[in-house]
Amino acid sequence: MGFGAALLTNNALRIEKMMLHSDKESSRKGSEENKKLNDVMTQVIDKTLKQVFKQPGTRVIYDYLEKNQDLKINEITDKPELFSESMRKLLGSASSVIEGLIVRNLYVQLNSEFEGKDGYEFSCYIKELREKHRC
């Protein structure tokens, strides 16, 4: 390999390392931002449930979710379909009212304009918020 080819190969390797480092840094930052968003969403869910059910009622809901559905509060935004299904089992038709309150409070907290959409469920709004606030 001549000097020019070696120099090009060396530069290409350096650029590749820089790109890999940049990708890792970007991925780490994205992961941190996703965690922050998840934390905010979890706090809003918790606050909304406590507004409606107070502390003892909210504890009953969390216990039910954990024991019967293997769903922890910090997993709700990752598994919104399971949360909805679990809330329906526990609260019946009232679950849609609670989910609506949570969604509206999430939009307010995240400074997003809420617009109700036909056919949208809790999980759709959670996914939409994640997309809007993805970094």
**Structure confidence by residue, pLDDT tens digits, 63-117:** 999 999 999 999 999 999 999 999 999 999 999 999 999 999 999 999 999 999 9
Which two three-digit tokens encode residue 29?
Answer: 């930052």
Q: What's the pLDDT score for residue 1?
A: 54
**Structure confidence by residue, pLDDT tens digits, 24-77:** 554 455 577 778 889 999 999 999 999 999 999 999 999 999 999 999 999 999
CATH superfamily, domain 34-132, is Protein of unknown function DUF3227 (1.10.1200.200)
Q: What's the pLDDT score for residue 34?
A: 75
Spell out the residues 6+ positions from residue 86 whose beta carbon is closer than 8 angstroms to its own.
Answer: 64, 65, 68, 69, 71
How far is the C-alpha of 57 from the C-alpha of 55, rounded, in Å?
A: 6
How far is the C-alpha of 123 from the C-alpha of 129, rounded, in Å?
A: 10
- pLDDT band per the 50, 70, 90 thresholds, residue 5: very low
How far is the C-alpha of 20 from the C-alpha of 26, rounded, in Å?
A: 10
pTM, two decimal places: 0.76
The mean pLDDT value for 106-132 works out to 93
Q: What's the pLDDT score for residue 10?
A: 58
- pLDDT band per the 50, 70, 90 thresholds, residue 132: confident
| In the predicted structure, residue 4 carries a pLDDT above the cut 50 | no
